Amino acid sequence: MRLRIGHMYPDLMNLYGDRGNVIALARRLQWRGIEAEIVGIAAGDAAALGDFDLLFMGGGQDREQAIVCRDLEARREDLRRAMEADVVLLAVCGGYQLLGHYYRMPDGREIPGLGILDLHTEAGPTRMIGNAACRSEYLPEPGTLVGFENHGGRTYLGPGCAPLATVLSGHGNNGEDGGEGAVYRNVFGTYLHGSLLPKNPHFADLLLGRALARRGAGTMGDPLDDSLEWRAHRVALGLAGVDGREA
């Protein structure tokens, strides 16, 4: 079997090395003997998003988001159909914001989003920066999700999607309601940047499992040796001030 991974806007939306998530997905497939094809999708590229098994969009600054939103507008219906067909999508920070209804920038102007996730984002007076740890009911043991966040936007979820996780330490979606990220069908948004999937192997496998199930694969095979990944996870929990045994 061969899975196709679409990396959306790898040149514009790649803060903190978000592309590491794509590498992690491909490597975890290869370790299981499954072929992975990574395709970069830049603004203006002809691409049928429904032909992919997994899509990834990283974070970017307001300037990049404004460029990307114009290209996304042309892809709105294609992406919507792919989402309703349960293509797996992970979007981080600026990419996550673009899946919502809009992002209102500090100067009051709005960047329109795709409205695929029922949420909107408004820039606040301070930036929310630092290591974060959360607990997610979508994840198997240990259920914790660790990462680093840096955003000025506050994201508020509507009834059409659910939070991905509950904040143990850090800010999450808006620093107020304890939620982090959002989930709708196989679409996952999060504020957790950078090397998210390498140090959260259970989240990587959740995404891969859903993509493989959609292709009719019943099992992911034997578990991988994730001892290094879990060490990194525990270190990140510690950096966020959370004791792994209590989390």
Task: List active site positions.
Answer: 93, 193
Contact track, ligand GLN, 152-191, x by CB under 6 A: xx--------------------------------------
Among 20, 60, 179, 201, binds ligand GLN (CB under 6 A): 60
- Give whichever of 16 and 52 is closer to ligand GLN, judged by the CB atom: 16
Give yes or no for residue 144 binding ligand GLN (CB under 6 A): no
Secondary structure class of 243 (helix, strand, coil)? coil
Among 6, 10, 20, 59, binds ligand GLN (CB under 6 A): 59
- Give whichever of 100 and 163 is closer to ligand GLN, judged by the CB atom: 100
Q: Which stretch binds ligand GLN (CB under 6 A): 32-40, 56-64, 178-186, 219-227?
A: 56-64
Give yes or no for residue 226 binding ligand GLN (CB under 6 A): no
Give yes or no for residue 100 binding ligand GLN (CB under 6 A): no
Helix ranges restricted to H, the chain:
20-31, 62-84, 94-98, 201-214, 227-239
Among 3, 8, 15, 87, binds ligand GLN (CB under 6 A): 15
- Size of residue set near ligand GLN by CB under 6 A: 13
Give yes or no for residue 151 binding ligand GLN (CB under 6 A): yes
Give yes or no for residue 150 binding ligand GLN (CB under 6 A): yes
* Min CB(199)–ligand GLN separation in Å: 18
Q: What is the 3-state secondary structure (H, E, C) of the chain?
A: CEEEEEEECCCCCCHHHCCHHHHHHHHHHHHCCCEEEEEEECCCCCCCHHHCCEEEECCCCHHHHHHHHHHHHHHHHHHHHHHHCCCEEEEECHHHHHCCCEEECCCCCEEECCCCCCEEEEEEEEEEEEEEEEECCCCCCCCEEEEEEEEEEEEEECCCCECCEEEEECCCCCCCCCEECEEECCEEEECCCCCCCCCCHHHHHHHHHHHHHHCCCCCCCCCCCCHHHHHHHHHHHHHCCCCCCCC
Give yes or no for residue 62 binding ligand GLN (CB under 6 A): yes
- Name the residue whose CB lies closest to ligand GLN: 59
**Footprint of ligand GLN on this chain (CB under 6 A)?**
15, 59-62, 65, 93-94, 97, 150-153
